[in-house]
Amino acid sequence: MRYVIIGNSAAGISALEAIREIDQEGEIAIISEEPYPAYGRVFITKVLRGDCDLDDILTRPRNFYERLRSKILLGETATALDPVKKRITLLSGRFVSYKRLLLATGASAYMPSIPGIERVGVHGLRTIDDSREILHRAKKNRHAVIMGGGPVGLYSAEALLKHELKVTLVIRSDHVLSTIVPKGATTGIEDEMSARGARVIFGQSVVEIHGGKEVLGVTLDNGRSIPCDMVIVGKGVAPNTELARYSKIKMGVGIRVDSHQQTDEPGIYAAGDVTEGYDVVRKEPRLNAMWPNAVFQGRIAGLNMAGRSATNPGYVNLNTGRFFGVPFAIVGFSTPERNQSREIRLNGARGYGRVIVSEKLDSVQRLLGAVLIGETRGAGVLHALIRGGINVTPFLNEMVTSSFSYSALVGSVRKQL
């Protein structure tokens, strides 16, 4: 094969399309351990809610692979990579050779090594099969404990409450979403959670999951036991870097790549959640497990694999959505790391807004991040200010007033450019 792509999701599909834009002839194989055509992983929470299933969340038509004259190997797990022989070994015993390889293996739900984590009824939430299994159990179970108050924990809680389960979230910190937003930001979301019947225990972790073959309950740090028949683990993700482990490919938490998405091994590229992208605001490589980032990185990798020189300038985080019906937007970095935050008042009872600005240097102050919860108007403008490295000093005072308008800001920025 001229091109081999391991991973059939945001990054892999985007790379496949980019390669075909440039090279109409070269043979391409795309390998995925999941037995399904590419689907929108971000929508598996809808599957969990029972609102839809695979066919509703496919990201491309079923004849896509054929149309792009690519060979798709579904339900095949790549188990080893030999960069010298330029060959991949599959679990089925087959070998696939490559000239250019893309590692787009994404990430898996992080499962902490606590006693009982292997019991039936303990689930991560990363694949459509996870959603289907949890949904199946939800029909016969009564009480779910959710470990973690991050996005996956909140999405799962919302879905399981819809199925009329009793839901208890066990959260180590003192507020939900604590790894991405500061305390005080999430009051509106927490109020909505309790109004819908979610029970939240702050300041505790699950230290053991007990039962027989199946889950019967959990034990917390403080020794308290909570009976339950299902546990959802929402403790973040771990990049699927195993294939790169025995090569010369440089790794931090994820695979390190250059601005062409190329690794240290000639001919091997990586993109998506498995990599550490360049964070423009922090000026360092970091994990950014977000769909648009995976798509962009996949495209850059694909173009370079096919011989066009394309550069990735890095990403500015932009995460938007709704938790328990409350809209949120997180832009750039969202927790003040050097004490430089100022609050924007937003109209609306549930509105929370905070921008993070850099220290003033020669009258220049730059926006580093923003958290908007309840009222997310302007997130795109703030993203553009960060991406463009715009000096916000001239309109910072204006920004923190309640009458502030983003359209006026667009005018001021234009003048500055």
CA nearest 231: which of 213, 209, 249, 211?
A: 209
C-alpha distance across the termini of the chain, in Å: 48
Of 156, 323, 308, 140, residue with least CA distance to 231? 156
In the complex with ligand FAD, the residue whose CB is nearer, 382 or 390, is 382
Q: Which is nearer to ligand FAD, 155 or 333 (CB)?
A: 155
| Residue 103 binds ligand FAD, judged by CB under 6 A | no
Residue 302 near residue 16, CB atoms below 8 Å: yes
Q: Which residues pair with 73 in a beta bridge?
A: 31
Sequence letter at residue 117: I
Give me the least distance between CB of 371 and ligand FAD, in Å please: 16
DSSP state of 85: T
Packing angle, helices 10-22 and 291-305, rounded to 10:
30
Quick check: 107 binds ligand FAD (CB under 6 A)? yes
Say how far apart CA 306 and CA 265 lie, in whole Å: 17
Stretch binding ligand FAD (CB under 6 A), from 53-61, 98-106, 338-346, 379-387? 98-106
Query: Do the bridges between strand 255-256 and strand 237-239 make them parallel or antiparallel, or are there none, so unpaired?
Result: unpaired
Q: Should residue 265 be labelled a site residue for ligand FAD when binding is judged by CB under 6 A?
A: no
Work out whether 268 is an interface residue with ligand FAD (CB under 6 A): no
**Nearer to ligand FAD among residue 328 and residue 395 (C-beta):** 328
Q: Which of residues 280-309 bind ligand FAD (CB under 6 A)?
A: 289-292, 294
In the block, tokens 């929470």 appear at: 45
Measured from the CB atom, the residue of 105 and 341 that comes closer to ligand FAD is 105
Please give the structure tokens belonging to residue 360.
């003033």
Q: Please tell me whether residue 152 binds ligand FAD under the rule CB under 6 A.
A: yes
The answer to whether residue 78 forms part of the interface with ligand FAD (CB under 6 A) is: yes
Count interface residues toward ligand FAD (CB under 6 A). 34
Nearer Cβ to ligand FAD (281/390): 281
Backbone angles phi, psi at 54, to 5 degrees: -45, -50
Q: Are 311 and 300 in contact (CB under 8 A)?
A: yes
CA 320 → CA 115, 149, 207, distances in Å?
Answer: 35, 17, 32
Which of 26-34, 158-166, 194-202, 333-341 is the region at the interface with ligand FAD (rule: CB under 6 A)? Answer: 26-34
- Round to whole Å and give the CA distance between 51 and 319: 23
- In the bound state with ligand FAD, the residue whose beta carbon lies nearer, of 231 and 392, is 231
Considering the complex, state which of residue 321 and residue 380 has its C-beta at the smaller distance from ligand FAD.
Answer: 321
User: Which of 3, 98, 155, 269 forms a contact with ligand FAD (CB under 6 A)?
Assistant: 155
> Is 88 a residue that touches ligand FAD (CB under 6 A)?
no
Residue 8 CB, shortest distance to ligand FAD, in Å, is 4
Q: Which of residues 222-261 bind ligand FAD (CB under 6 A)?
A: 240
User: Which stretches of the chain bind ligand FAD, using CB under 6 A?
Assistant: 6-12, 31-34, 41-42, 44-45, 77-78, 104-107, 125-126, 152, 155, 240, 272-273, 289-292, 294, 321
